[in-house]
Amino acid sequence: MGEFDLIEKYFTWDDSSTHQSDSASIIKGIGDDGAILKCPANQHLVTSVDTLVSGVHFPEDTDPQAIGHKALAVNLSDLAAMGATPTWFTLALTLPDSNDNWLSAFSSGLKKIAQAFDIKLIGGDTTRGPLSITINVMGFVNSNETLLRDGAKPSEKIYVTGTLGGAALGLKAHQNSLSASQKSLLNTADFDACIHQLNYPNPRIAESVVIANYASACMDISDGLLQDLSHLTNLSGTGAEIDLNKLPLPKALAKLKDEDAWSFALSGGDDYELLFTVAETKVSDFERALHHLSTPIRCIGVITSEKGKISDTTGRLLNKTSQSQGYDHFS
């Protein structure tokens, strides 16, 4: 199968069932040298790109359907972190060979999440080499509703969506590197739930629409809470105090010893939840607005004035211990 047949067969979808606003539209999509897009007036374009490399961002034996889902989900999570509504994406695919089974599972996972979030594939690139998937997403945000990392101020409350640490536990379970005592506390349903969290992250787009009305700073958690929180606090010129007992743990993690559970939740990575801050004056309105959402959103701490310091409620420094490092590709 040639490159053009491959694109036609797997990446040209009938999108007639989805609707996008009239103000953002595709003038030319897949098939020419570039896409031509009409952008809505009075909104800002937000764009972000993420690459998933086989063996680095997902285990080599991952179900290709999950790879298709995750490749777009991690990018949608970045749009959510910016308060943007997804509109279009491009796909640069490097494949070792053109394997029909792999491509059909990958494209079905990708198509399913693309349609669920009403984001359209407008072009890409297809090359041969070690498996890697790069997706560039585009979305729009009202100019007064952008969510940046650098807006947190002392005394603001720190919130996270969903639960933390499940995906990291899933990865360790998949790699068979949990300790015997950890394994003894968990059952098959726990492992399956965590591996599902690892493979099928749920981008918090709907939550972000609500959060954008109240938050002063926001980002998504991809490399572990502590590492990502330290980006947010450093850029904001602040510190943070985290109440470890408030960390939202998935069922499986809640069965582990506190220190083990906290380590996964603080430093695990692959959560793709939103981390954001809300000023005290807005907290009660914000918490009322949360009743409209089905996703749990939990306050886990408070922004402090001591720049660079992230501690627990007893004053113990959290971001200087060896177990608290998040994922860094170059360290």
186 binds, among Mg ion, ligand ADP, none (CB under 5 to 8 A by kind): none
Residues 243 to 302 in contact with ligand ADP, rule: CB under 6 A: none
31 forms part of the interface with ligand ADP (CB under 6 A)? yes
Q: Which is nearer to ligand ADP, 11 or 264 (CB)?
A: 11
Closest Cα partner for 217 from 161, 284, 277?
A: 277
CB neighbour list of residue 186: distance below 8 Å, 6 or more residues apart: 173, 178, 252, 255, 256
Q: Which is nearer to ligand ADP, 88 or 214 (CB)?
A: 88
Q: Which is nearer to ligand ADP, 105 or 210 (CB)?
A: 105
Shortest Cβ 33–Mg ion spacing (Å)? 4
| Bridge partners, 157 (sequence order) | 278, 302
Residues 89 to 118 in contact with ligand ADP, rule: CB under 6 A: 91, 93
Q: Using CB under 6 A, count the residues that bind ligand ADP.
A: 13
Residues 14 to 43 in contact with Mg ion, rule: CB under 5 A: 33
> Which phi and psi angles does 94 have, rounded to 5°?
-110, 120
Q: Which is nearer to ligand ADP, 8 or 285 (CB)?
A: 8
CB neighbour list of residue 256: distance below 8 Å, 6 or more residues apart: 182, 185, 186, 264
Strands of the sheet containing 239-242, edge to edge, are 215-221, 273-278, 157-161, 297-304, 239-242, 310-312
Whether residue 326 contacts residue 267, with contact meaning beta carbons closer than 8 Å, is answered with yes
Closest Cα partner for 212 from 143, 154, 155?
A: 143
Angle at Cα 305 formed by Cα 304 and Cα 307, nearest 5°?
105
Work out which of 14, 32, 61, 97 binds ligand ADP, going by CB under 6 A: 32
Work out which of 22, 33, 259, 328 binds ligand ADP, going by CB under 6 A: 33
Q: Which is nearer to ligand ADP, 84 or 110 (CB)?
A: 110
Which parts of this chain interact with ligand ADP (CB under 6 A)? 7, 11, 30-33, 91, 93, 121, 123-126
Which parts of this chain interact with Mg ion (CB under 5 A)? 33
